[in-house]
């Protein structure tokens, strides 16, 4: 029993903690939410019908549990705020520094979309991204297209800094 729980725990801990932190949970809150998710999964296994995938069911519990915690303590920005960047400073930046700043801002404004692009960057399949986000395969694909478009305004100006 303990080994099986450990298996479940170690399989999901890192991806779920990341997900919670991306969504604005502190590290402590993320650990608390994760423990609650594990307990709910084990308690509620009786209600799993086997119709969808087990992964999708577990992630659905994770999303709902996070929402419950956010009702008690709202999300916050997990990374420290940056100093305001002056226009002149922007001109002196390299393209990669500029994109890095753009991604930081995007992560604060659109944490869900930033996380979805991170999963894509990590090489996670569209189906698995959909299971984590609670979307169908087609809807996930469309969502990722939209993420790219939404990211545009945060980084487009950086590409002018690219040199040949």
Partner 1 sequence: MANDKDHLQDEQWLAALAGHSDSSASPDINRQAQLVRDALLKRQEQIDRIIPESAEGNFQQLLRRLDNEGLMKLVPPKQTWSLKNIAALLWPMPQAFALATTLALGIAIGLIVQHQKKPEEQGPFAVRGEQATILLVADPLEKVVELRNGLRAVGSSPEIIINENRIVLKVKQTDPVLDYLISQRITQPTIVDGQVVLAIERARK
8 A C-beta contact, residue 38 and residue 9? yes
8 A C-beta contact, residue 114 and residue 97? no
Site membership for partner 1, residue 139 (CB under 8 A): no
8 A C-beta contact, residue 154 and residue 102? yes
Binding mask 28-57 for partner 1 (x = CB under 8 A): --xx--xx--xx--xx-xxxxxxx-xxx--
8 A C-beta contact, residue 22 and residue 118? yes
8 A C-beta contact, residue 107 and residue 114? yes
Closest CA to 105 of 91, 125, 85: 85
Site membership for partner 1, residue 81 (CB under 8 A): no
Stretch that binds partner 1, among 66-74, 81-89, 156-164 (CB under 8 A): 156-164
The DSSP annotation for 104-160 comes to HHHHHH-HHHHHHHHHHHTT--HHHHHHHHT--HHHHHHHHHHHHHHHHHHHGGGGG
Site membership for partner 1, residue 60 (CB under 8 A): no
Site membership for partner 1, residue 8 (CB under 8 A): yes
Site membership for partner 1, residue 107 (CB under 8 A): yes
- Among 33, 61, 128, 135, indicate the residue that binds partner 1 (CB under 8 A): 128
- Among 73, 85, 127, 139, indicate the residue that binds partner 1 (CB under 8 A): 127
Smallest separation (angstroms) from partner 1 to the CB of 64:
18
Site membership for partner 1, residue 99 (CB under 8 A): yes
Residues that bind partner 1 (CB under 8 A): 1-15, 17-18, 21-22, 27, 30-31, 34-35, 38-39, 42-43, 45-51, 53-55, 78-79, 95-96, 99-100, 102-104, 107, 114, 117-118, 120-125, 127-128, 131, 137, 144-145, 148, 151, 155, 158-159, 162
């Amino acid at each position: 029993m303990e080994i099986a729980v450990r298996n479940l725990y170690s399989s999901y801990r890192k991806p779920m903690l990341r997900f919670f932190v991306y969504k604005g949970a502190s590290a402590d809150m993320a650990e608390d939410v994760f423990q609650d998710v594990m307990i709910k999964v084990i308690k509620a296994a009786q209600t799993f019908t086997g119709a969808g995938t087990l992964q999708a069911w577990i992630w659905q519990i994770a999303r709902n549990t996070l929402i419950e915690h956010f009702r008690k303590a709202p999300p916050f920005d997990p990374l420290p705020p940056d100093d305001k960047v002056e226009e002149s400073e922007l001109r002196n930046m390299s393209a990669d520094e500029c994109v890095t700043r753009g991604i930081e801002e995007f992560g604060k404004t659109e944490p869900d979309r930033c996380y979805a692009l991170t999963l894509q960057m990590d090489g996670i399949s569209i189906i698995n991204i959909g299971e984590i986000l609670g979307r169908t395969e087609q809807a996930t694909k469309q969502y990722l297209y939209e993420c790219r478009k939404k990211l545009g305004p945060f980084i487009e100006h950086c590409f002018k800094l690219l040199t040949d």
